[in-house]
């Protein structure tokens, strides 16, 4: 029986996403936020103008925006990838249907179900079912050993599928830390500017003081928001991958138990 897996996308390159996000962030910061229409004659942001206030946050802001756009883009890409990997039907329903067919010894029916389901779980289970039929004809080993060969095939198929499921998640995990760190870096720069204004002899420069505080607060808010979003998305996708892995383990165990139950533990 042909064991060709369902074709699937290898995912989007994180490098291209980061580069595109950096370009968009730079254009947005310098050309949109920095447009003169957002400032008065003295160069101060207009009252309530978000873009002008964001521009006042300093040059760390476009770096944080780059990280924010990267998280958003990678999250959307991973969402489509996970949905595609999950297959046609819900994983829970597919697992139940596959186990029922396997328990009945209907391997052909379970294989057809995998072909109809598609997705990563179905691909892995299909490999195990194909191996199920192959090991039946192997002589001079116990059926318990044959069940182990089936489980090994499932484990190898899982190893091949997991990199696709986990692609780009390490980037999101890194941004969960980098977003906060860049925000703190911008905060420190803003506070340096604020204290520098207060350190002048005589009355402090109120404009420079306000700019420094604004820079500090904008970087803090944007950095923490980016880090929080990255943590949420990473946790969500990691949870979905764990659910898929649990489903694979459950069906893999059912296939092995079905083989031993159907054929017994004797040497054939």
Question: Is residue 2 classed exposed, middle or buried when 0-12, 13-18 and 19+ CB atoms within 10 A define those classes?
Answer: exposed
Residue 37 token pair: 């229409």
Please report where in the chains the tokens 């390159």 appear, as a residue.
13
Report d(CA 123, CA 119) in Å as an integer: 6
Report d(CA 195, CA 193) in Å as an integer: 6
Residue 234: pLDDT band (50, 70, 90) is very high
- Is residue 266 predicted with pLDDT exceeding 50? no
Residue 88: pLDDT band (50, 70, 90) is confident
- Is residue 10 predicted with pLDDT exceeding 60? no
Q: Which of 31-35, 57-61, 176-180 has the lowest mean pLDDT?
A: 57-61
Chain-wide mean pLDDT for the chain?
82
Query: In sequence order, what are the residues at sequence separation of 6 or more whose Cβ sits closer than 8 angstroms to the Cβ of residue 190?
Result: 57, 58, 212, 213, 214, 215, 216, 217, 218, 219
Please list the alpha-helical segments (H only) found in the chain.
Answer: 14-27, 50-55, 61-86, 91-103, 107-117, 119-135, 143-166, 169-198, 206-263
Share of the chain above pLDDT 90, in %: 25
- Is residue 146 predicted with pLDDT exceeding 90? no
- Is residue 231 predicted with pLDDT exceeding 70? yes
User: Rounded mean pLDDT of 199-210?
Assistant: 60
Integer CA distances (angstroms), 216 to 35, 42, 70, 115, in order: 21, 21, 22, 55
Q: 150 near 18, Cβ under 8 Å? A: no
Report d(CA 215, CA 249) in Å as an integer: 51
């Amino acid at each position: 029986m042909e064991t060709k897996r369902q074709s699937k996308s290898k995912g989007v390159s994180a490098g291209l996403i980061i580069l595109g996000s950096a370009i968009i962030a730079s254009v947005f910061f310098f050309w949109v936020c920095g447009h003169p229409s957002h400032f008065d004659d003295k160069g101060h942001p207009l009252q309530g103008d978000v873009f002008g206030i964001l521009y006042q946050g300093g040059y760390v802001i476009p770096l944080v925006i780059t990280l924010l756009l990267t998280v958003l883009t990678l999250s959307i890409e991973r969402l489509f990838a996970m949905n595609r990997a999950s297959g046609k039907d819900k994983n829970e329903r597919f697992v139940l249907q596959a186990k029922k067919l396997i328990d009945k010894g209907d391997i052909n029916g379970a294989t057809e179900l995998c072909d109809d389901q598609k997705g990563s779980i179905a691909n892995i289970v299909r490999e195990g079912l194909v191996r199920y039929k192959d090991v039946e004809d192997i002589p001079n080993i116990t059926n318990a050993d044959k069940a182990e060969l089936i489980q090994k095939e499932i484990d190898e198929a899982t190893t091949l599928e997991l990199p696709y499921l986990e692609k780009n998640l390490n980037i999101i995990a890194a941004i969960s830390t980098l977003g906060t760190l860049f925000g703190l870096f911008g905060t420190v720069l803003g506070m340096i500017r604020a204290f520098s204004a207060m350190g002048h002899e005589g009355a402090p420069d109120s404009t420079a003081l306000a700019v420094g505080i604004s820079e500090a607060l904008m970087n803090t808010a944007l950095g923490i928001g980016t880090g929080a979003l990255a943590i949420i998305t990473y946790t969500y996708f990691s949870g979905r991958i764990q659910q898929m892995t649990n489903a694979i383990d459950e069906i893999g165990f059912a296939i092995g138990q079905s083989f031993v139950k159907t054929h017994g533990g004797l040497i054939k």
